[in-house]
């Protein structure tokens, strides 16, 4: 059987490199620095010549190290989730880990099943963007010594770093911008907050901050796939505040998309009626005259989540990040220019 039609073995690499099997094993493990530079070079050349790839799963089972990081995502279709996953995956690769991503589709039952699956894979760390409240299962991981980082959303009674946006600051920045632009009445549109601590924080902060700015305000919660109630809420809000300059603040990217469609449906002129969204989306620059957003530093958030895990997994390789709560960046466009 030719070498091109089967996996090369560690013994073949050792023979070609003139090295011991133990040295080759160290080279592909965490003890590479114990080998001389010339021996490392010979092993690298031999492995490249033979096309050798170590079986990471077998190595993990043998040494108790899977080199896998698990990630739970509440809604993989959400642009925020896509961007964050990209940041997490890039950081995992830098540390020599592979990422296993599970989409829970905002379903607590799927979340439980995926956590069982990640446990079977013996992941070395977990990044959790929770859709339910998987407190019991996460405590099982913690009791086994598996570090956990919560992404964007808290889980009741689970002590772990929460890495994400500074939600209070985001609302404050948004309302300060709208007030500076001369808007006097603001409608806040949010997805239902029950399963998301992030939505709860933004919603409660909105009322408090709107009062501080002396703004007239109201809120509207989106139903799952029906925007009829929000259409009515928007129409009513504009009717009640005919004498005021009105704006709509959207609590996340999904809300921004729904409200933009409602603006088009009602024929509302962007700018005259202000529109602003939390989360930057590719299409926001394309809807004339552009939609003002608060962009999250998604790569930095994803990288920091992994750094928190690495500090727990191998403290000597990574310092604990000093910041886990991030400020957004204001991207000002025509939708908030009166």
Region 26-36: mean pLDDT is 84
Report how far apart the first and last C-alpha atoms of the chain are (Å, whole number): 74
* Structure tokens given for 181: 């632009």
Domain total of the chain = 3
Residues 108 and 122 in one domain: yes
pLDDT tens per residue across span 205-261: 999 999 999 999 999 998 876 789 999 999 999 999 999 999 999 999 989 999 999
C-alpha 167/C-alpha 53 separation (Å) is: 44
Residues 215 and 292 in one domain: yes
Residues 210 and 262 in one domain: yes
* C-beta of residue 262 within 8 angstroms of C-beta of residue 220: no
Residues 263 and 290 in one domain: yes
pLDDT over threshold 70, residue 58: no
Residues 90 and 154 in one domain: yes
* Structure tokens given for 217: 């305000």
Residues 104 and 138 in one domain: yes
Give the residue numbers spanning the domain of 184: 167-296+329-336
* C-beta of residue 284 within 8 angstroms of C-beta of residue 276: no
Residue 304 in 3-state DSSP?
Answer: helix
pLDDT over threshold 50, residue 65: yes
pLDDT given for residue 4 in this prediction? 43
pLDDT given for residue 321 in this prediction? 87
Residues 130 and 10 in one domain: no
CATH of residue 44's domain is 1.10.260.40
pLDDT over threshold 90, residue 152: no
% of the chain residues with pLDDT over 90? 64
202 — pLDDT class (breaks 50, 70, 90): very high
Region 274-300: mean pLDDT is 96
CATH of residue 224's domain is 3.40.50.2300
Residues 85 and 154 in one domain: yes
C-alpha 293/C-alpha 91 separation (Å) is: 26
C-alpha 117/C-alpha 150 separation (Å) is: 18
Region 76-99: mean pLDDT is 92
Between residues 84 and 52, the one the model is more confident about? 84
171 — pLDDT class (breaks 50, 70, 90): very high
What does the mean pLDDT of the chain come to?
Answer: 90
C-alpha 276/C-alpha 333 separation (Å) is: 9
Region 306-312: mean pLDDT is 93
């Amino acid at each position: 059987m030719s070498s091109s039609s089967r996996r090369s073995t560690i013994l073949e690499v050792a023979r070609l490199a003139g090295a011991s099997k133990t040295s080759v094993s160290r080279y592909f493990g965490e003890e590479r620095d114990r080998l001389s530079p010339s021996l490392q070079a010979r092993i690298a050349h031999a492995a490249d010549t033979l096309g050798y790839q170590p079986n990471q799963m077998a190595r993990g089972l043998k040494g108790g190290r899977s080199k896998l990081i698990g990630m739970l995502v509440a809604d993989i279709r959400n642009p925020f989730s896509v961007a964050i996953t990209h940041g997490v995956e890039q950081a995992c690769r830098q540390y020599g880990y592979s990422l296993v991503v599970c989409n829970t589709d905002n379903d607590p039952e799927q979340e439980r099943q995926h956590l069982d699956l990640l446990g079977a894979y013996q992941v070395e760390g977990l990044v959790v963007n929770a859709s339910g409240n998987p407190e019991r299962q996460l405590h099982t991981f913690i009791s086994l010594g598996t570090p956990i980082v919560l992404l964007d959303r808290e889980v009741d009674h689970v002590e772990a770093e929460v890495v994400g946006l500074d939600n209070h600051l985001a609302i404050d920045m948004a309302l300060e911008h709208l007030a500076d632009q001369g808007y006097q009445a603001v409608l806040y549109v949010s997805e239902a907050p029950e399963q998301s601590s992030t939505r709860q924080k933004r919603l409660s902060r909105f009322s408090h901050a709107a009062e501080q700015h002396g703004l007239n305000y109201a809120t509207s919660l989106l139903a799952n796939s029906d925007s009829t109630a929000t259409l009515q809420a928007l129409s009513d809000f504009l009717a009640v505040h005919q004498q005021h300059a009105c704006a709509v603040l959207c609590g996340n990217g999904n809300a921004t998309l729904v409200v933009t469609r409602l603006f088009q449906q009602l024929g509302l002129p962007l700018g005259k009626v202000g529109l602003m969204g939390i989360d930057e989306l590719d299409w926001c620059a394309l809807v004339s005259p552009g939609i003002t957003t608060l962009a999250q530093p998604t790569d930095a958030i994803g990288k920091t989540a992994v750094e928190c895990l690495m500090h727990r997994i191998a403290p000597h390789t990574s310092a604990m990040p000093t910041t886990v709560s991030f400020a957004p960046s204001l991207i000002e466009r025509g939708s908030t220019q009166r």
